[in-house]
Structure 1
Amino acid sequence: MSLRKKTISGLTWNFAQQFSVQLIGFGVTIILARILLPAEFGLIAMLTVFIAVGNSLLEGGLTSSLIRSSNLGQADYSTVFFFNLVGSVILYVIVYLCAPLISSFYNQDALSLILRIYALEFIVNAFFSVQNARLTKEMNFKIQMKIQVPAVLVGGFFGVFLALNGYGVWSLVWMGLFQSFLSTVMHWIYSDWRPDWMFSKICFKRHFSFGYKMTLTGLLEILYKNIYVLIIGKNFSIIQLGLYSRADSVSQLPITNISAVINKVTYPMFASIADDNLRLKGVYRKLMQQVLFWNAPVLILLAVIAEPLFGFLLTSKWVPAAPYFQILCIAGVIYPLHAYNLNILKVKGRSDLILKLELIKKIICVVGILCVFPLGIYGLLYFQLLFSFLAYYINSIYSGKIINYSIGEQISDVLPILMASAFTGLLCYLADMFCFNRLQFPDLIRIIINGIFFFLVYLVSSTYLRLAPINDFKQLILTK
């Protein structure tokens, strides 16, 4: 199969998988949000950073090395498998012992037991990380879809059942663990790979030399993404944290379904053409424009309809989260740009540069947060928006040099898309403010009218500006 056909197949199946999983997960979240209180979601949000750090330590570096490396043997996969498994047990013991300290930090006594149970996910996930890496390397997203959709669906039903029967925050904990368990079982059923009882020091050194830098980079990224949760959870009410976590979760839905899908496919694809800079630049440019063409208008539309969206889906108790959600949506518009710039460095094997860039960004981030913290939660949110653009600039410096695609060229390629999205969003916002809202339409009607109006204007303006992604989309998907 040619690279083009393999990429299209990978995109199709991965998008179907990601969209199905996120749609089911979002539906489950809506039901749970209607049953549970913001404070109960706030408790789980307090633990997000610790769970994410643990999973990053186990999955981030060595599995990324497996995906990018060629000529792998059974020794490579088995070595990574047993390293992850042993590491997960050690990590769980550390978290178990530190749980009372974390509970004391947030001044929430219930967190200690919750974390000790929730962290069992580390060990469960370690049993399928290598199988999942092999499927990704082979771009076999069809099998991944068959695995993830049933796991999320059945696990979601289980969580809703527990919530309806009064389990409160524990319904979220047991739902997460059950989904991880089902995912593990399904990976072992669908994957024909099994580990051998072997551990190669040579293979470990090979993957660790690349992987530890990626792991450190992943940790820095996770700490940055969750530093707002730590600060809000420590210094503001648990209800505000619950509102912020829901706003962030909903804003991530289109980013995950569009950006992460392409990212998962393009990493192995970029790796296959890593030695051809001219071809790599061309493919990167088309994908970047294509992703932004869909990602930007969706996020801007969601920002416009934030208030009726939260009122309709999550009930009025979650409407105070709408302003948080609007800022986070705008911040997520250019996420694909700096994420893909880092992908270029990854396929070039420059994990040292990635780590260097992450250190620079996180130092700037910490200094900025300390400066805006006195301004309250909105100061933190607006800094998150500003830092998103700054991070893109920093990420593009080295990758632009490597493939001769400067930030000036990148901005020139994506600026028309951003302008069309912003113009459409402004018109839609004014129409909603001075017409749809004043007519006191029900929330659902406002959402539908705004959506239709937005995409009609966006389609007309995109056609008028002759945006490149329209023609690229036709050539990539519609032509045989």
Structure 2
Amino acid sequence: MTSDQSPAAPAPEQEVSSRQVLRAAAWLGLAKISSYGLGFAGTIILARILVPEDFGVIALAMAIMGILAGLLDLPVTQALIALQSPTDDEFDTAWTISIIRSILVALLLIAIAQPMAMIFNMPEVSGVIIALTLNVMLFGLRNPYFENFARSLNFTWDVITEIISKTVQVIVSVSVALIWKSYWAFVIGLIAGTLAAMILTYLTYRKLPRLSLRSPKRLFDYSIWLGLSMIVSRLTAESVNLIAGRRFGQGTLGQVHIGNKLSSDISYLILVPIMRSLFSAFSRLSDDIYRFRHAYLKAQSATVALAMPVGFGLALVADPLIPLLLGPGWELAIVIVQFYAPCTGLLLATGPIRSVAMALSRTNLMLKRDVVVLVLQVSLLLLGTWLYDFIGFLAAYAVSTFIATVINLYFLKGLIQISIVDQVKNFSRSILATAIMIGVVLAVRPMAESSGTFFGDVLTVGVLSLTGALAYAAAHTLLWIVSGRPEGIERSVMNVAGKIKPKLARFGIR
């Protein structure tokens, strides 16, 4: 064991190049593509075995657990990434705080399980909530020294841990579902995956933490505002499920849960690897606002260029895609995806905002933003539901997402001194290219109507997806050329293509 104040396996504090960030994002991209791919496949299989009511039970239990866990959350592990040279005492303190938090959350979950089941008229939820306390405990036991990999932008073990734990979760969930045909399949699979991830954090970083509360100051100084912000953010996210469950019942909540999951998984698979690698990189650029601003604009441009066509494209093909994936009984999920997927793509235009605030130690500003968005979303959802029932609920979600995006642009203006107009200009080509893509797909769609068979649906989805992708790429490239070929994702793609072309030529490919 090292001395109390010596840096614990410190990550090197050297300059971070764009190549390092891209390499880190690529590794995390591989992990998320694999993880979300496995999770997506698992969800599809479970949706074909289980019924919407089963997913409603899980969605409500996870929402309650998420809110309660958020109320006691102190993101001390993220503080370990952001702090300069954290000591062994700080790693030990972070681990101890995580354990204490997990115990408190577990006890509170047990206490409220039965009352929540009565309030939402779902008796099954009580047992699921109590079982999920084990998942909370396992997550709190993760090795804090594992974060040293992220500090040095080395995400190899993140990739391995992510893929193995998700594989365990999917295999266990599907196996139990095939045997029991019950929502317990998801619960058991989730616990198995979390257990695997926890064990791997110790196997991959061979340094054991110890129980200690000797160095909480820097952790609390960093985490307190961020923790409060994450509480409010979690309330905002879960308010959708709580309102849907209370107003529309178990079956509709299950449809909302699946529709939201399908919409967000595909888009967030783009964002999450970028955000984690950017947070590590942004933390090292926080003293140079000009380089920081430049890095943010590049990240924003790339994120929107990928997320927006995916979100709107998913909505365009939802009608044939959802029955193809989920089978009969999930018709309402089609409408949900048509609303949710574009909203997710739009919101990702300001996806890096939390990484920016964390890197600049302006998490108090994020708290203000999160409170505004929470009040806005809950108010609009309640009003929309009261006025127009379920369609009002969906419309209110779309409106609140648009307003939240504008609010994010405003707060980013204060964080990195970039006007809202300049931010929108930064991804304007992606907006225009997406609009062109939508027009082209809608024009082609009548000629690609499905025959109603499995292969007909596959062909329709394939034709529309390929048409949309080609239209978007062509429009984006043309707009870039007309704009004078400015720096952006197009130039990065051209540079990569230029490097690959000579290698392909060796094999006779031109």
Normalising by structure 1, report the TM-score: 0.95
Are residue 419 (structure 1) and residue 395 (structure 2) matched? no
Change (3 A) 1:440 1:84: closer
Instruction: Specify the alignment match of 1:271 in structure 2.
Output: 283
Q: Bigger CA drift: 125-134 or 81-90? A: 125-134
Contact 2:315–2:338 at 8 Å: present in 1 too?
A: yes
Are residue 458 (structure 1) and residue 472 (structure 2) matched? yes
Instruction: Specify the alignment match of 2:241 in structure 1.
Output: 229
Q: Structure 2 CA distance, aligned partners of 1:314 and 1:135?
A: 38
Contact 1:254–1:298 at 8 Å: present in 2 too?
A: yes
Are residue 342 (structure 1) and residue 354 (structure 2) matched? yes
Q: Structure 2 CA distance, aligned partners of 1:342 and 1:165?
A: 42
Deviations 1:27-67 (A, max 9, x none): 11111111111110111011122222344456652222211
Instruction: Specify the alignment match of 1:469 in structure 2.
Output: 489
Q: Structure 2 CA distance, aligned partners of 1:107 and 1:159?
A: 26
Q: Bigger CA drift: 461-470 or 402-411? A: 461-470
**Deviation at 1:440?**
5.7
Contact 1:59–1:129 at 8 Å: present in 2 too?
A: no
Give runs of aligned pairs for residues 61-76 of structure 1, distance below 5 A. Answer: 61-76=75-90
Instruction: Specify the alignment match of 2:297 in structure 1.
Output: 285
Are residue 403 (structure 1) and residue 423 (structure 2) matched? no
Instruction: Specify the alignment match of 1:98 in structure 2.
Output: 112
Contact 2:450–2:457 at 8 Å: present in 1 too?
A: no
Deviations 1:277-310 (A, max 9, x none): 1111111111111111111111111111101111
Contact 1:106–1:234 at 8 Å: present in 2 too?
A: yes
Q: Bigger CA drift: 333-342 or 153-162? A: 333-342
Q: Structure 2 CA distance, aligned partners of 1:277 and 1:329?
A: 33
Contact 1:308–1:447 at 8 Å: present in 2 too?
A: yes
Q: Structure 1 CA distance, aligned partners of 2:297 and 2:219?
A: 29
Q: Structure 2 CA distance, aligned partners of 1:16 and 1:125?
A: 23
**Deviation at 1:122?**
0.8
Contact 1:216–1:355 at 8 Å: present in 2 too?
A: yes
**Deviation at 1:327?**
0.6
Change (3 A) 1:477 1:120: farther
**Secondary structure, aligned partner of 1:317:** coil
Q: Structure 2 CA distance, aligned partners of 1:207 and 1:360?
A: 26
Change (3 A) 1:342 1:144: closer
The aligned amino acid for 1:362 is L
Deviations 1:58-95 (A, max 9, x none): 66522222111112110111001011112211210111
Instruction: Specify the alignment match of 1:320 in structure 2.
Output: 332
Count, aligned residues: 477
Structure 1: unaligned runs, 5 residues or longer: none
Q: Which runs of 4+ in 1 moved over 6 A?
A: none
Contact 1:155–1:179 at 8 Å: present in 2 too?
A: yes
Contact 1:62–1:212 at 8 Å: present in 2 too?
A: no
Instruction: Specify the alignment match of 2:397 in structure 1.
Output: 384
Deviations 1:128-177 (A, max 9, x none): 16244333223221111111211211221111111111240111110111
Q: Bigger CA drift: 334-343 or 85-94? A: 334-343
The aligned amino acid for 1:473 is V
Instruction: Specify the alignment match of 2:263 in structure 1.
Output: 251
**Secondary structure, aligned partner of 1:224:** helix
Change (3 A) 1:283 1:326: same
Deviations 1:13-36 (A, max 9, x none): 100011100001111111111111
Instruction: Specify the alignment match of 1:444 in structure 2.
Output: 458
- Two-structure CA RMSD over aligned residues (Å): 1.9
Instruction: Specify the alignment match of 1:295 in structure 2.
Output: 307
Deviations 1:235-276 (A, max 9, x none): 112111111100000001122210111111101111110111
Instruction: Specify the alignment match of 2:5 in structure 1.
Output: none
Q: Structure 2 CA distance, aligned partners of 1:310 and 1:413?
A: 33
Instruction: Specify the alignment match of 1:369 in structure 2.
Output: 381
Q: Percentage identity across aligned positions?
A: 19
Change (3 A) 1:127 1:114: same
Q: Structure 2 CA distance, aligned partners of 1:413 and 1:279?
A: 16
Instruction: Specify the alignment match of 1:18 in structure 2.
Output: 32
Q: Structure 1 CA distance, aligned partners of 2:239 and 2:444?
A: 36
**Deviation at 1:392?**
2.0
Q: Bigger CA drift: 115-124 or 126-135? A: 126-135
Contact 1:81–1:130 at 8 Å: present in 2 too?
A: yes
Q: Structure 2 CA distance, aligned partners of 1:337 and 1:463?
A: 19
The aligned amino acid for 1:41 is F
Contact 1:342–1:395 at 8 Å: present in 2 too?
A: no
Change (3 A) 1:419 1:381: same
Contact 2:44–2:325 at 8 Å: present in 1 too?
A: yes
Deviations 1:351-399 (A, max 9, x none): 1111111112222223222321211122122221122221122222243
